[in-house]
Amino acid sequence: LSLRLFIDTLFTSTNGSITNYTSMYFGGGGAQHLMEIGIGDRWKHDTELSNCIIGKASEICGREASHLTDQASKGPYYHDAEFLRVKASEVRVEMLQSFHMRALLERYERTMPHLQQLLKAVIGKTEAKHESSRDPDMGRTMLTSMLLNLRSRLTSYHPMINSLMLWDNRAPKKLVKVLNRYGFCCSHPVLNEALTHLTKDSNQLAIRVANDPAKLLLLPYDNFNWMKHAWETSTSHGSVTHDQVSALLVAFHLPPGSPPETAQRLADVKRFAETAGKRHQLPPHQSLSEILPSQLDQSVFLRNSMLHIAHILVEGVQDWSHHQSSIPVFADPFALPAEKTEEYFLPTYDQEQSSTRGNMLVMEHYFKDVLAMPATIFEERFGFLLGDRLTTARARAAQDQRALDRSENRLDHLSSFAMLSGVMHICMNMISNLGKNYWG
């Protein structure tokens, strides 16, 4: 009891001479040393001591979280808190493209180091054991984002990304509402508002790309039918069938170092008109020599075939596995580099396109209204139309649908397009795959 009284008096005294000594002691790391001596392994058996330690740790973590949420203006991480606060009206394409879990974790480790230390201890794993194992670092990032969002709905950077991910995978509204309760994602009304602003920003980017003369463009589109079912049908109220068009704006990747006028030269309508029918004028031997593989192509193919079989044998026969390091890798001197192609989803259009007239209305809507492309630029850069049911026979049968166009822009006729024979149906599955996985 006397020792306890002495220690209490020593460290709680307001006497100047005593506080000078205690301040010097604490300033040299004495407080930490005293805690190590006093606590030791006693916390394993002393519940009250464990509660005291956890209580102080929770206060420290709460203070860290407050610097990013409700006390951001008074804390040292104001700019980080501002970055993590994302309104629905501020969602942009750039935000989605720049999102990276590893970068977000680095921000959390810098602003909330004590919480990350606790989460590491609770998870008990420093890294993934195998390539297919769950990454504990990604779990810490997700947990931290959920905790911050539960503390303040304004801290919604990561939950907003999760909401858009759920929307992209067509998650039901009820699932979004449940996950919002957990702090995993934003609410459904916030998601709808974010999608509205994201669509506007995407359309603005598409307009800039469509009017850039250095871009080589493609506009694949197709119709999709869907039905809005009525709960109870009657003579005046029933299910409604919608015939809408979905379209993409694709900008092809040009080789590095290409002159700025490359796209304009390749897409020039006059160049196609000048070279029309020239392929029939090539001599047969020249045509054949240009498509046959050269001697170099054959030797490269032979070498790669041998290497491919060697790799199969080494991987399949265990006794030959030691030859793995001595077998060279495939080498293609003319291999094309993998480059991701730019693609932009355009808003759907409620218009049938089963006729020539319907296709022209679709083209006019997207090029004139959505992409705001001047008629002169359109006439110079677009010479071919690949549309659903736009075959030569169909075009002949649709002569009565070609109404005389007297409008200023004259976009609903086929005079500037070269009609190609054959079925030209770009299906919705292709559009979806192009939009998500389009590679050059």
How do beta strands 221-228 and 240-252 pair? antiparallel
110: in domain: yes
130: in domain: yes
260: in domain: yes
What pLDDT does 386 receive?
56
59: in domain: no
Query: Can you give the three-state secondary structure of 167-231, one letter per residue?
Result: HHCCCCHHHHHHHHHCCCCCCHHHHHHHHHHHHHHHHHHHHHHHCCCCCEEECCEEEEEEEECCC
d(Cα 82, Cα 276) in Å, to the nearest integer?
Answer: 59
308 and 374 fall within a common domain: no
110 and 183 fall within a common domain: yes
224 and 105 fall within a common domain: no
281: in domain: no
82 and 178 fall within a common domain: yes
25: in domain: no
247 and 322 fall within a common domain: no
163 and 298 fall within a common domain: no
Nearest CA-CA partner of 440 in 250, 297, 302: 250
304 and 348 fall within a common domain: no
Domain membership of residue 386 as a residue range: 216-229+238-271+339-437
304 and 358 fall within a common domain: no
The model carries a pTM of: 0.69
310 and 255 fall within a common domain: no
Q: Count of alpha carbons within 13 Å of 376, Cβ hemisphere only? A: 1
124: in domain: yes
77 and 140 fall within a common domain: yes
Contacts of 284 (CB under 8 A, 6+ apart): none
352 and 249 fall within a common domain: yes
301: in domain: yes
Sign, CA dihedral 205-207-212-214, equals positive
322 and 357 fall within a common domain: no
Number of separate domains in the chain: 3
Residue owning tokens 């420290």: 60
Q: pLDDT per position in the chain (440 positions), as tens? A: 577 777 777 777 777 777 777 777 777 666 676 677 667 777 777 788 788 888 888 999 999 999 999 888 888 999 999 999 999 999 999 999 999 999 999 999 999 999 999 999 999 887 766 777 788 999 999 999 999 999 999 999 999 999 999 998 889 999 999 999 999 999 999 999 999 999 999 999 999 999 988 888 888 887 777 777 766 767 677 777 777 888 888 888 888 888 888 888 888 877 777 777 776 777 877 777 777 888 888 888 888 889 989 988 998 888 888 888 888 887 776 777 777 778 888 988 888 777 767 778 888 899 999 999 988 888 877 766 655 555 444 444 444 444 444 554 444 444 444 443 333 334 445 555 555 554 43
